[in-house]
Amino acid sequence: MADLPPVEMFLSSTGVRIYRIPCEAFPNFIVYCHLLLGDLPPTLVDTGSGYGASNKQLLAGLEAVHTEFNEPFRLADLARIVISHGHIDHFGGLSHVLEHVQAEVAVHPLDRRVLTHYEERLIVATKNVRFYLQQAGVSAEMQEVLIGTYQFSKKHVRSVTVERELRDGDELDGLRYIHTPGHCSGQLCIGVGDILLSTDHILPGISPHQSPESITAFTGLAHYLESLDKVARIGGFDLALGGHEGPTRDVYRRIEAIRAGHERKLERVSTIIRDAPAPPTVQEITHTMYPRVQGFDVLLALEEAGAHVEYLYQHGRLEVTNLDEVEREDNPPLRYAVA
Ligand SMILES: [Zn+2]
Ligand SMILES: [Zn+2]
């Protein structure tokens, strides 16, 4: 088990005390949940993965708010749980928290069904991933391995009831909800005065993971870049607290850096396709971009590269070269050339 960082408190310009609680979502992978206290119903944003020690760490973090920071808050006071987006490291612990407390659950409508019908979602999403891997040119044998890693650690999650939907522009109890699709369909950022809870939309070091919209609607690089613009236009945030890593001190410079990183990746994908001896598949492009990845990272790399290929194709910068095969066969790999 990794050493967890301590619980920290950040005070917003609106007087909300934001407690940042770390949990080890998966081995050596820390996620932050945020408890908001002040002139609002006690609100928890995200609940960890529910995997391993994550549940215990979340409850211990909530307890520490009382014992170490002298807040009168107790777990039973929790009134609302907001799920920032439908990724397991952020909501997998939800059913466990609800065993201890009666709180309203709120999420963006596009991720609602992930929470309320998790099993259905897992089956349908797995099918979409399989279709994507076939189209990307991944071998049948490798597809099995990757589907196995995709389903790993997702089986413990239980569906819950959702009481409230949060939409773009909603203001509720002094918090401002901003829908920022891209990294995830229902991704929400939350404005708390001058602090942005950026969850997985903006992170200080990692460029938030992208996957093609062909797997899940409202993900994909085009939505993501628009959502970066949206936050940049809003302005006024002095600090962002993400779902992973440390705080982001210069939110707007970080947005520019993430955007520039994607521009470079788009160029790199174009160059790889142009320099390939024959029109490559997404799998071949991924292998050139990320030759050393292993395990679960292979799937992430295929999604990340594929999101950039998809963006270039959507914007008329690539063409599919094997149309005969595509017309004739069920789901053959697509081969790309620069248009
Ligand atoms: Zn995420
Ligand atoms: Zn995450």
Which ligand lies nearest to the CA atom of residue 245 in the structure? 2
Residue 159: how many CA atoms within 13 Å on its side-chain side? Answer: 12
CB atoms within 5 A of ion ligand 2 belong to 89, 200, 243
Mean pLDDT of 260-277: 98
The Å distance, Cα 103 to ligand 2 centre, comes to 22
Distance CA 309, CA 217 (A): 16
Per-residue pLDDT at 1 exceeds 60? no
Determine contact, residues 102/65, Cβ cutoff 8 Å: no
Q: Give the pair of three-digit tokens for residue 230.
A: 């949206």
For residue 2, what pLDDT band results from cuts at 50, 70 and 90? Answer: low
Determine contact, residues 215/128, Cβ cutoff 8 Å: yes
Domains of the chain: 8-125+152-250 (3.60.15.10)
What is the tens place of the pLDDT at every residue in 136-170?
A: 999 999 999 999 888 876 778 899 999 999 999 99
pLDDT (0 to 100) of residue 56: 97
Give the residue among 185, 336, 299, 209 at the shortest CA–CA distance from 262: 209
pTM: 0.96
Q: Which residue has the tokens 């950022």?
A: 189
The Å distance, Cα 321 to ligand 1 centre, comes to 34
For residue 17, what pLDDT band results from cuts at 50, 70 and 90? Answer: very high
The strand pair at 29-37 and 43-45 is best described as antiparallel
